[in-house]
């Protein structure tokens, strides 16, 4: 059984007060999911979070993607630099809850490995082409996922 630390308990309590589909709840859930994948989760510093909400489907569910940057300590104790992350959620309106599908975090060591992007004629990392561009770049986002301010 895993114990929940004080910060996580406070985050869950705050998200409960804010509502399951609030920006705060989604932000805290994303941060918690990203922290669980880091070597030093307590050193994580998040920035530039963007929330994209999709259309509510037939089963009263709604896809949500949270994009942003995280900087944390690596195995050597130094800060690794900003890394992009993408967190996928599903809002289940019928039960007033959500689930975190998956979280993808850019590996800073792979930033030099690029692939050619035909649509923009520029070099992109594999993480950017597969995870970041389709969900986090406004000009490259699918039509059914819109930034929060346009929803």
The predicted pLDDT at position 95 comes to 77
d(CA 21, CA 8): 18
Residue 87 pairs in a beta bridge with: 66, 103
Confidence class for position 41, pLDDT limits 50, 70, 90: very high
The predicted pLDDT at position 121 comes to 62
* Between residues 96 and 151, the one the model is more confident about: 96
* Whether residue 22 has pLDDT greater than 50: yes
Q: Output the pTM of the full model.
A: 0.73
């Amino acid at each position: 059984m895993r114990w929940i630390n004080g910060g996580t308990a406070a985050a869950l309590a705050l998200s409960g007060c804010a509502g399951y589909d609030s920006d705060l709840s989604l932000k805290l859930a994303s941060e918690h999911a990203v922290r669980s994948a880091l070597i030093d989760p307590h050193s994580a510093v998040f920035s530039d979070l963007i929330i994209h909400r999709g259309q509510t489907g037939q089963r009263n569910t709604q896809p949500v993607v949270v994009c942003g940057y995280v900087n944390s300590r690596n195995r050597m104790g130094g800060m690794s630099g900003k890394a992009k992350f993408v967190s996928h959620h599903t809002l289940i309106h019928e039960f007033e809850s959500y689930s975190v599908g998956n979280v993808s975090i850019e590996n800073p060591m792979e930033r030099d490995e690029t692939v050619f992007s035909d649509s923009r004629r520029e070099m992109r990392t594999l993480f950017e082409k597969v995870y970041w561009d389709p969900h986090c770049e406004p000009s490259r986002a699918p039509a059914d996922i819109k930034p929060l301010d346009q929803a």
